[in-house]
Amino acid sequence: DAGVTQSPTHLIKTRGQQVTLRCSPISGHKSVSWYQQVLGQGPQFIFQYYEKEERGRGNFPDRFSARQFPNYSSELNVNALLLGDSALYLCASTLSGSSYNEQFFGPGTRLTVL
């Protein structure tokens, strides 16, 4: 079975631009979470979606937005990019919204903002 997939793997943008990152969860998983991992730190929670509804949002500015589609895939959008947005963006899928389920992570998208 395919795991969580993310695209693109790498991305280079300049300040002020907009970016869209994509994630496909494991088949049958209905919940997707997004995390930002800055170099040298642990992942930080950005969004969680379950059954196409936003369930939670971390402490990130409104420049960050996301959505989940009927097939449970998800997109993360970041507007007006700043240098500090350079990070590895991780998508994780979970079978359901249950807190007992472990999250399965994709390989991430490495975003570099110049």
Partner 1 sequence: AQSVAQPEDQVNVAEGNPLTVKCTYSVSGNPYLFWYVQYPNRGLQFLLKYITGDNLVKGSYGFEAEFNKSQTSFHLKKPSALVSDSALYFCAVRDINSGYSTLTFGKGTMLLVSP
Q: Write out the residues near partner 1 by the rule CB under 8 A.
A: 4, 6, 33, 40-45, 48, 50, 55-56, 58, 90, 92, 97, 99-100, 102-108, 110
**Residue nearer to partner 1 on the CB measure, 106 or 113:** 106
Shortest distance, position 105 Cβ to partner 1, whole Å: 4
Nearest to 22 by CA among 114, 111, 84: 111
Cα torsion for 106, 54, 19, 82, to the nearest 10°? -100
Shortest distance, position 16 Cβ to partner 1, whole Å: 27
**Residue nearer to partner 1 on the CB measure, 92 or 111:** 92
My answer on whether omega of the bond before 8 falls inside 30° of 0, hence cis, is yes
Shortest distance, position 53 Cβ to partner 1, whole Å: 10
Shortest distance, position 83 Cβ to partner 1, whole Å: 21
CA atoms within 13 A on the CB side of 22: 7
**Residue nearer to partner 1 on the CB measure, 50 or 85:** 50
Query: Which pair of tokens denotes residue 20?
Result: 């869209």
Alpha-carbon distance 11 to 62, whole Å?
A: 21
